[in-house]
Amino acid sequence: MSVALKSWRANEGPKHLITMVWIAANVFLFWKTFMVYFSEAQYYYLHKMLGLGLCISRASASVLNFNCSLVLLPMCRSLLTFLRGSQRLLNRRTVFHTCLTYAVIVLVHVSAHLVNMVSFSVRYSEDFPGLNVAQYRGQVTHTDTHMDIFFPGVTGVLLVLVLFLMFTASSYCIRVSSYEIFWYTHNLFIVFYVILMVHVAGGALKYQSNVETHPPGCVQNNLSSWTNHRAAGEKGTESSGAPQTVCQEEARFQPHFPQTWLWVSAPLCLYCAERFYRFIRSSAAPVTIVSVISHPCSVVELRMLKSGFKPHPGQYILLNCPSVSSFENHPFTLTTVSPFVLVWKCVFLPTCNISNLTVCCAFSSHPRVHVDGPFGSPSEEVFNYEVSLCVAGGIGVTPFACVLQALFDDWRQYKLKRLYFVWVCRDLQSFYWFADLLCGLHERLWRDNRPDYLNVQLYLSNTQGLQSISEERYRFLSSRLRIGRPKWKLIFQEIGRANQLKRVGVFCCGPKGISKALHTLCNSNPHTETAFEYNKESFS
Amino acid sequence: MGKIEWAMWANEQSLAAGLIYATGGIVGVAGQFRGWQFAAFGIAAGVFVCLLEYPRSKRRKGTSVERTGQYCFTVCVKAFGPLTRNYYVRAFLHAALCVPGGFMLATVLGCVCLGIASLIYLSAAIHGEHWEPILPRTEQPKSVGNSIKEPPQNPPPRPPPELRRKKVDKLETAVYDNPMSVTINE
């Protein structure tokens, strides 16, 4: 039981900790801003005019400021690659839930401001004309003009519209079926941030700038006696013994300095700097396509050369092909590092377009491509464990192919002592993509007297018909081929028994079903003294 | 660009727009704005749009992912036949539903969002798309053929004897059988 807890702490602990810290920061910001507007002296008159709507809208605005600035940081891929180890903390699900909460907070903010609009109109103040936003009492309730000249209102509506377009186009279904819609609407974030900077510049909500000379609730000399009595009456019920302070001057109101600019400008500058750096890096050295090879099951292999490009095994790049689309970048894992090779399967529409273009142009000049990267991914951590389990589903084998290639070149320099490689495919032909690499690595390790270094298990999930790998040179693979889907519990038991008291890194690149099963098993493996640490490869 | 399925995006948009419309309506009614009757209509229209748009349509090509618990909604929506199948009808319906929202501040956002969704539905209809229900596949019972009654006359074909003999000088090619099954399907 305590061992499962150790695994759980290593796997889930950091993620849950970050989530708790994030929730705590949001709650703290909301509460602090709420209390400022509820009880501070400089907002006394404004609070009396608008009531709770003021406090809720400003508190939700500060939470939105915080999240707007945070949302840019995970997009700074180069920075994250530099700070390695952060990929385990930034889970896809966390980001999704952040966005959902964000949407809810936006709704709260908008609703509160709508109530504020009504309050501004109903409680129009003749005493403090500088505080008003409405032009006269009852503007909203009695006429049809909706104060639409009101600048933050217009920009607020535009912001919600942009957010609506971005949010609706970013669901999983849309990304899988029509990637272009997602890509082009998501690039509206630039418009969003520009309008956001302008949204807060309206200056509708004002604070009182001369609280010392005009304490709130003080009695004014030149005010009507009715107002004086009312103020006196209020003060009387609260503290009957306190003397009435006389105002030395009229209340003066000033709009805020837009706080959003402070929150958002730093991450925005960082993000712009990073995009600029990536653009320079990708267009500085040209990419030469050396060869294009078609493999069975609609898989294409692209060999390229780029000067000054030094990726590590397990990293990925963003590929941009201007002939297909000028703005789209798609992630691909590298399968070898020099010359760097990409292998992908034609499943996704953009990948099919690139496949068709490169294969058709195989005999004439190749299309121009730009490469942005390399960026870090969890697969780089394979070498940091003594024992690793790599599970690949179908074309998900590409990051591990890079790892295997790196081991083939020189396995001695790494901390890794044993690698368990499980590859599950639907078609037998898929195994031929990297059959040579696997057999070559096995031969090398046998010659170097490390037969227990690499343990390969191949599973064919399609159980129809008689299937086997019949080539003589792939005898190593045919003896390790099993028909049917693997029983993960048995594999974990075997690994656990053979590697007691060790930390095993579990890496998965494949369908969600497999990764979920592995994740659960990593957290609940009570039979041995081994700790299994789960690392998931994540891009769609 | 390839075949974009506009209807899928319009569906997500109209679901979100329905929620925004209903929320704006609730705020309008609760705050007793002028024209709160429009807000009440907004609540009803928003809820109706959400119920209509909840069941996803089947994709033309590829796997369709259902929303949780959408089967009962699919059955209800399917019952209206061509009214819900056709996207022109949906586009005009959304356009008509969104107009009253424009008369009141609280529902203006819902009106604009639903209007955009209606335009995208129009685009989907022009591209010839229509709504298809996602129904659960009825599993065909695996009928055993008549040949089960006739056992085979001949033994199964075997490879020639020289391939069958295990080569013990090369240990790595000696195949072994697992004592217990290691795959789920066996």
| pLDDT one-digit tens code per residue, A482-505 | 888 999 999 998 898 888 888 899
Considering only residues A152 and B132, tell me which one the structure prediction assigns the higher pLDDT: B132
Q: Say whether pLDDT at B100 is over 70.
A: yes
Gap from A324 CA to chain B (nearest CA, Å): 9
SS3 A421: strand
Is B169 an interface residue toward A (CB < 8 Å)? no
Tell me the residue type at A340. F
Confidence label for A453 from pLDDT (cuts 50, 70 and 90) = very high
Q: What's the rounded Cα separation, in Å, for the pair A59 and B107?
A: 23
Q: Where are the alpha helices (DSSP H) in A239-338?
A: 259-284
Is B29 an interface residue toward A (CB < 8 Å)? no
Complex-level ipTM beyond the 0.90 threshold? no
Considering only residues A260 and A324, tell me which one the structure prediction assigns the higher pLDDT: A260
Q: Count CB neighbours of A100 within 10 A.
A: 11
Gap from B142 CA to chain A (nearest CA, Å): 15
Q: Which of A72-81, A125-134, A515-524 has the lowest mean pLDDT?
A: A125-134
Given a contact cutoff of 8 angstroms between Cβ atoms, the answer to whether B109 and A160 are in contact is: yes
Given a contact cutoff of 8 angstroms between Cβ atoms, the answer to whether A406 and A441 are in contact is: no
Is B74 an interface residue toward A (CB < 8 Å)? no
Closest CA to A288 of A405, A367, A402, A372: A367
Q: What's the rounded Cα separation, in Å, for the pair A510 and A512?
A: 7
Q: Count CB neighbours of B78 within 10 A.
A: 15
Is B118 an interface residue toward A (CB < 8 Å)? no
Tell me the backbone φ, ψ of residue A254, rounded to 5 degrees: -135, 140
Contacts within 8 Å (CB) and 24+ apart, B94-101: B94/B14, B94/B49, B94/B118, B94/B121, B97/B45, B97/B48, B97/B49, B98/B17, B98/B21, B98/B45, B100/B38, B100/B41, B100/B42, B100/B45, B101/B21, B101/B24, B101/B38, B101/B41, B101/B42, B101/B45
Tell me the backbone φ, ψ of residue A76, rounded to 5 degrees: -85, 80
Closest CA to A210 of A42, A40, A37, A39: A42
Given a contact cutoff of 8 angstroms between Cβ atoms, the answer to whether A469 and A459 are in contact is: no
- The DSSP 8-state label assigned to residue A538 in this structure reads -
Gap from A210 CA to chain B (nearest CA, Å): 33
Instruction: Tell me the β-bridge partners of A531.
Output: A503
Considering only residues A263 and A120, tell me which one the structure prediction assigns the higher pLDDT: A263
- Candidates A52, A102, A110, A114: best to mutate against B (most CBs of B within 10 A) is A114
Is B66 an interface residue toward A (CB < 8 Å)? no
pTM of the predicted model as reported, rounded to 2 decimal places: 0.74
Share of chain B above pLDDT 90, in %: 29
Contact A114 B105 (CB under 8 A): yes
Tell me the residue type at B59. R
Q: Say whether pLDDT at B75 is over 70.
A: yes
Q: How far from each other are the two terminal CA atoms of chain A, in whole angstroms?
A: 34
Given a contact cutoff of 8 angstroms between Cβ atoms, the answer to whether B17 and B95 are in contact is: no
Given a contact cutoff of 8 angstroms between Cβ atoms, the answer to whether A160 and A64 are in contact is: no
Q: Count CB neighbours of A224 within 10 A.
A: 11
Cα radius of gyration (chain A) = 31
Q: What's the rounded Cα separation, in Å, for the pair A535 and A454?
A: 20
Contact B34 A178 (CB under 8 A): no
What mean pLDDT value characterizes chain B?
82
Residue A178: list chain B partners with CB under 8 A: 4-5, 8-9
Residue B183: list chain A partners with CB under 8 A: 459, 482-487
